[in-house]
């Protein structure tokens, strides 16, 4: 990477993603997204957890919430090197989770296509435009300031039993500036020191209860 006075010229934008997220962290993110599919599915199958407003909605709605919940839980328990905070949408009717690590801010979304960034939203527009301000000179120069923030996005596929892709990258105003499909890159496989379980047995009742509480917190259910 070439440094010139007040600018940095990256040799490869993929290098930024790989440097900021180690192979262990990327592997754990893959595992959490896969678990999020199972958690969302199980949340819609257990009758005792369906007697609340969001539980009656479809699995596709719960899946991004499940992935956010698992990222938050792992961060709190020290399994991921992140902190987190909530931010609000424009009319303050909905909270969303932002994961922090140093100067990195990361949000999560579900998309239909490997090549799509998240659906339009005020906070994502701000995030994407901020990245575009940093990349100029034919997308080869990163302008430096005292506390540069990089906004990153984690997306995964909608539908199906498991994710078809898991993208981690830099979103821009008109699409991805750079992205990695984590499933297509080398990653570590987590092996449990126990007998294999059925997928339905992986999610414990306590996890479902905590997921419900998280969902209610994010959606402010019961506070209105």
Per-residue pLDDT, 80: 93
Per-residue pLDDT, 165: 96
As to burial, measured by CB atoms within 10 angstroms (0-12 exposed, 13-18 middle, 19+ buried), residue 210 is middle
Q: Which of 80, 57, 64, 156 is nearest to 111 (CA)?
A: 156
Instruction: Give the DSSP H/E element, type plus range, for residue 9.
Output: strand 7-9
- Which residue ranges of the chain lie beneath pLDDT 50? 1-11, 137-139, 142-146, 191-201, 222-224
Per-residue pLDDT, 25: 94
What span, in angstroms and rounded, lies between the C-alpha atoms of 71 and 46?
Answer: 22
For the chain, which residues make up each domain, given as ranges? Answer: 2-185+202-219
Query: Model's pTM, two decimal places?
Result: 0.76
Q: Are strands 141-143 and 7-9 parallel, antiparallel or unpaired?
A: antiparallel
End-to-end CA distance of the chain: 52
Per-residue pLDDT, 188: 67
Per-residue pLDDT, 8: 45
Compute the mean pLDDT over every residue in the chain, rounded to the nearest whole number: 76
Per-residue pLDDT, 54: 59
Per-residue pLDDT, 4: 38
């Amino acid at each position: 990477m070439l440094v010139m006075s007040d600018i940095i010229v990256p040799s490869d934008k993929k290098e930024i993603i790989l440097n900021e997220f180690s192979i262990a962290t990327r592997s754990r993110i893959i595992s959490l997204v896969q678990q999020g599919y199972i958690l969302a599915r199980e949340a819609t199958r257990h009758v005792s957890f369906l007697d609340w407003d969001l539980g009656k909605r479809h699995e596709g709605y719960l899946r991004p919430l499940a992935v956010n919940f698992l990222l938050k839980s792992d961060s709190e328990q020290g399994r991921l090197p992140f902190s987190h905070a909530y931010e609000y949408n424009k009319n303050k009717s909905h909270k969303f989770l932002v994961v922090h690590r140093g100067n990195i801010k990361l949000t999560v979304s579900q998309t239909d296509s490997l090549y799509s960034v998240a659906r339009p939203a005020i906070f994502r527009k701000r995030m994407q435009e901020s990245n575009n301000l940093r990349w100029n000179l034919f997308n080869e120069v990163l302008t430096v300031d005292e506390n540069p923030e990089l906004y990153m996005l984690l997306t995964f596929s909608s539908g199906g039993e498991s994710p078809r892709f898991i993208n981690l990258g830099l979103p821009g105003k008109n699409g991805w500036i750079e992205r990695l499909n984590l499933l297509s890159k080398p990653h570590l496989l987590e092996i449990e020191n126990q007998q294999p379980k059925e997928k339905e047995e992986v999610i414990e009742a306590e996890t479902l209860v905590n997921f419900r509480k998280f969902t209610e917190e994010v959606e402010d259910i019961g506070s209105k």
